[in-house]
Amino acid sequence: MTSLADRAAAVRLAWAVLKLSKAGRHPVAISRLAAAVGLEPDEARRLAGMSGFTVKGDLVRLDPAPGTMTGALHSDAVGVFMLAIATGERAHHVYTCPVTGVRIRVDVTPKMVRLVDPPSAVIAITDLNLDYHRQESVFFASKEAAEDWIARNPGGRVYPVADYLLHAHHFVALLEGRH
């Protein structure tokens, strides 16, 4: 079992790997990663290994295959926003509302939500703390479709997709210690 402090540090490290590697396109040097997160290189290496990243010599790789951080981000509603912010590029993904079966298309840049289809789509999220492993986020076709989710997740919040980018930037500020 890992401590809450290890999990929080691992999430910050995972964010740094995602950002510095441009979502897995380039390996990241342990020394650069450690400096970005404010850790000693040995601690960054330990957390990277614990988080499932490939560590070879002094490089950390993010394998963008399903089941990795990038794959998890695509299946998570917050992920499309995080990928856009991390890479500084446009990110898009198609989700399916778990209640209505409606296809939800989302296209964002780090500065704006370019497309939400249907426009009534919302993002439901349990929490915006650093314990990302316990956070749940889901796209729904409408606020009405999210009602059962809201009832099952006291304290959860629902945002119109078009308004969520500001909250994603707030979460990134927490990850980067800029809060």
Provide the CATH number for the domain around residue 147: 3.15.10.60
pTM over 0.75: no
Domain span at residue 30 reads 4-61
For residue 114, how many C-alpha atoms fall within 13 Å in the half-sphere facing its CB?
13
Of residues 74, 163, 144, 67, the one with CA closest to residue 102: 144
User: Binning pLDDT at 50, 70 and 90, where does residue 155 land?
Assistant: confident
> Do 62 and 17 touch, CB atoms closer than 8 A?
yes
Query: Mind listing the pLDDT tens digit for each residue in 68-124?
Result: 444 444 456 778 888 899 889 898 889 999 999 999 999 999 999 999 999 999 999
Q: Give the count of beta carbons closer than 10 Å to the beta carbon of residue 24.
A: 20
Instruction: Determine, yes or no, domain membership for 126.
Output: yes
> Do 139 and 121 touch, CB atoms closer than 8 A?
yes
Same domain, 49 and 123: no
